[in-house]
Structure 1
Amino acid sequence: MKTVELGRTGEQVSQLALGAMIMGTSTDEPTSVEMLDRYLDAGGNFVDTANCYCWWSREGSLGGESEELLGRWLAGRRDRVFLATKGSAMVWDQQGLWRDGQPDWPLARTRFEGAGAATLTKAIDDSLRRLRTDHVDLYYVHVDDRGTPLEETLEALAGIVAAGKARHIGWSNVRTWRLERIRQLCAANGWPAPVALQQQHTYLRPKAGLDSASIVDGEQLDYLRAHDDLSLVAYSPILKGVYDSAAKRAGHWAMDNYEGPDAQARLAAVAQVAAEIGVTANQVVLAWLLRQSPTMIPLVGPRTLEQYETAYAALDVVLSDEQVARLDAAGA
C-alpha cells in the first residue's frame, strides 16, 4: 500500500484509511482483529475511530466499544499505527432517545456533548484510557460545535497537543466558512491548525439545493485545492456499497442526498468503466477517489472480511486517463 503525506506535516499515512466505527459491535472482535491484522500486514497504518462509536448499535450503550477493542489490539503494535480518534459527538443523555428499537437521530444531534474546553479535556483522557495509549496521532472535533466559542475549543486543543496527548488536530462535519475562521484564529494565536478535514465525499455529487455541513460541495473542493496543507479524509466513499447494486440503491437512505438526473448519469458512467476493466463499481469509485487532487484519503469501514478484501483490491485497479476524464465529465 502506498503512503501519502498528511497535509504538510511530513507524516506518511496509508492512501486508504481503515475505519473502526463498527468494530466491537456490528463486527465482532475476532473478525475485527483479523481485518486490522491484514490491513497492517499490507502496509496500512491509518486507523480511525471516535469516542462515541458506536452507541447506536444497541440501546443502553454509551459508545466506546471501538476504542476499547483497538486498545486491546494495539498492544505491541502502537508504533506501527497512525491512530485517529474524535470527541464532541458523545450522547450522554439518552432519555427518550430510542423508539421502537431505533435511535432518534434528530434528537440525538441536539444532545452531542460539544467541544467545550472541559468536555474535550475529559474526552481525550477517556479515549486514551480506552485505547491504552498515552497519545493519539490525530484528534478531531467530530461535529462542529457552533454553541461554543471557537477560541475556547482551539485553546483547549492546543493544550491537548502541548501536553503530548495528540500530535495533530483535525475537524469534521464543518462548513467551509467555519474552517477558514478556525484557520485564521490558529494563525493569529499560534495554535496548532487542523491538518485533516474528515467529510463525507464520494463520486456522486450532492443534489441541487442540499444543505449539509457534512458533505463536500464544490466550494469546499475549491478551498481544499487552494490549501494543500489540509488533507481530505473522505468517509462513506462508496455510500454503503450502493454503487454495485441498483436494487440496493432503490430507496436506500444513503442515496437521499444524491438522487437525481446527475446521479443517474454518473452511476451509468461508473458501471460502464467497471464493465470495461472487469471490476466492481465500488472499486471504480475508490480507484477514482485515489486519483484525485488535492490529496484525498478514502476512509473505508468494512463490516466483513469480504468487504475489506474487496475495498483493498481497489488499490490495484488501474484507470486510464481517458476513463478518469470520462468519469470526471459525466453528469446531467
Structure 2
Amino acid sequence: MRTVELGTTGEQVSAVALGAMLLGTRTDDAGGFALLDRFAADGGTFLDTADCYAWWEDRGSTGGQSEELLGRWFASRPGSRDRTFLSTKGTAMIRDVDEVWPADGGAPDWDAARERFVGASAPVLRRSLEASLRRLGTDHVDLYFVHVDDRSTPLEETLAELAAFVAEGKVRYVGWSNVRAWRLAEIAQLCRQHGWPAPVALQQEHSYLQRRPGLRQGSIVDDEQLDYLETHPELTLVAYSPLLKGAYDQTAEERAGNWMLANYAGPHTDGRLAAVDAIAAETGATGSQVVLAWLLARTEPRVIPLVGTTRQDRWAQAVAALDLRLTDEQRTRLDEA
C-alpha cells in the first residue's frame, strides 16, 4: 500500500480508503472483521464511515450499525485504533425515520428522507459526534466530515462548533461532503477570517466518467469543482463511488440496468467506457482496476479513491490497482476520450 498526504497537513494516509458503509448490516461481525483484518494486513489505514450508516438496510433502524461494528473491531484488535486514520460523518441522520418508509413495506422514500436530515446546527453536531465516539469506542476521530450541506444553519455556527471539537481534541481534522464549490469558497473565507480550522478533505462522488451536461447535482464533482480543487491543494478529494456500482466491469446490457449511470448518460460516456474496455484488454486488468489506476495517478487534484465493499475479494481487486502502471500514452487516451 502506498501512502499519500492528506491536503497539506503532513498526515500520511493509505492511497486507497475503505468505505465501511454496509458493515454491520450486510455483514455480521465475522464477515466484517475478516474484511477489516485484510484491509489492515494490506497496509490500509484510511477507514471511512458515518453515523447514519446504514438506516435504510433495516426498517425501524436509525443507523449507527457501521460505527458499532468498527467499535467492536477496534476493541477486539489491540492497537488497531492507533494504526487507523478514522473518519466519520455527521448531519445526515434522519429525523422521524419511520416517516420515510411506505406503509406497503417497500423501499424508503429518499426524496422524503432528504427533507429530514438533522442538519449541522451546533447542538445537533455535538450530539452526533458524541454518539459516534460512543459507538466507535474512541475518544476522538481523525477526520470529521459535515455529511450534507445544511443551508438552513449559518456556516459560522457550524464552523465554530467544528473548531470547538478540534480544540477539545475530539476531532483532529475537518472535512465537507456533498457540497458545491462556491460553498467551499465561503467556508474557506470564514475559516481565514475567524482563525478556525479549515477543511482538509472533500468527499464527493467522483469517477472516470463525466457527469451529463445540465445535471443539477451537488454531490458529483463538476468542472468548476475540479478547477477549485486544482488550485487549492490543501483540500484532498476523497472520491466515493469511484467504480459506479461495478460499471467498468459490466457488459453493455448490465450497464443499461445500472442506475448510477443515469447521471453520466451520453455519447461522452460511451466513448470513455470504450477507452476503459480497450485498455483493460491491453493490460489484462479489469476495467475497475484501470479506472482506479487512472485516479491514483492524478496529482491535480490529488484523489483518494474510497472503495466501499463488504467483500474481501473486491477489496483485493481494488488494491491490485496499485500495481497497475498505465503508460503515458494510455493515460492520454483515457484523458482525451
Question: Is the TM value for this pair above 0.5?
Answer: yes
Is 1:54 matched with 2:54?
A: yes
Per the TM alignment, residue 256 of structure 1 is displaced from its structure 2 partner at its CA by 1.0
- Structure 1 unaligned spans of 5+: none
Is 1:302 matched with 2:309?
A: yes
Aligned residue number for residue 84 of structure 2? 81
Is 1:223 matched with 2:228?
A: yes
Query: Could you list the per-position Cα deviations for residues 172-222 of structure 1 after superposition, in whole angstroms to 9, with x for gaps in the alignment?
Result: 000000000000000000000000000000000000001111000111111
CA distance in 2, matches of 1:130, 1:194: 24
Task: Give the TM-score taking structure 1 as reference length.
Answer: 0.98
Aligned residue number for residue 270 of structure 2? 264
Percent identity, aligned pairs only, is 61
Query: Could you list the per-position Cα deviations for residues 300-330 of structure 1 after superposition, in whole angstroms to 9, with x for gaps in the alignment?
Result: 0013222111111111111111100100000
Per the TM alignment, residue 28 of structure 1 is displaced from its structure 2 partner at its CA by 2.7
CA distance in 2, matches of 1:29, 1:328: 41
How many correspondences in the alignment?
Answer: 330
CA distance in 2, matches of 1:31, 1:247: 31
Q: Which amino acid counterpart does residue 286 of structure 2 have in structure 1?
A: T
> What does 1:58-77 align with in structure 2 at a 5 Å threshold?
58-75=58-75, 76=78, 77=80
SS at match of 2:331: helix
Aligned residue number for residue 248 of structure 2? 243
- Structure 2 unaligned spans of 5+: none
Aligned residue number for residue 321 of structure 1? 328
- Range moving further from structure 2, 4-13 or 22-31: 22-31
Q: Which amino acid counterpart does residue 292 of structure 2 have in structure 1?
A: L
- Range moving further from structure 2, 199-208 or 25-34: 25-34
Contact 2:202 2:238 in 1 (8 A): yes
SS at match of 2:4: strand
Q: Which amino acid counterpart does residue 135 of structure 1 have in structure 2?
A: H
Contact 2:179 2:219 in 1 (8 A): yes
Per the TM alignment, residue 247 of structure 1 is displaced from its structure 2 partner at its CA by 2.6
Per the TM alignment, residue 101 of structure 1 is displaced from its structure 2 partner at its CA by 2.5
SS at match of 2:39: helix
SS at match of 1:85: strand
- Equivalent in 249, 270, 286 of residue 280 of structure 1: 286
Instruction: Name the Cα RMSD after superposition.
Output: 0.9
CA distance in 2, matches of 1:67, 1:307: 21
Task: Give the TM-score taking structure 2 as reference length.
Answer: 0.96
Aligned residue number for residue 206 of structure 2? 201
Aligned residue number for residue 152 of structure 1? 157
- Equivalent in 128, 131, 136 of residue 126 of structure 1: 131
CA distance in 2, matches of 1:215, 1:68: 28
CA distance in 2, matches of 1:274, 1:71: 38
CA distance in 1, matches of 2:32, 2:254: 25
- Range moving further from structure 2, 294-303 or 243-252: 243-252
CA distance in 2, matches of 1:29, 1:177: 41
Aligned residue number for residue 18 of structure 1? 18
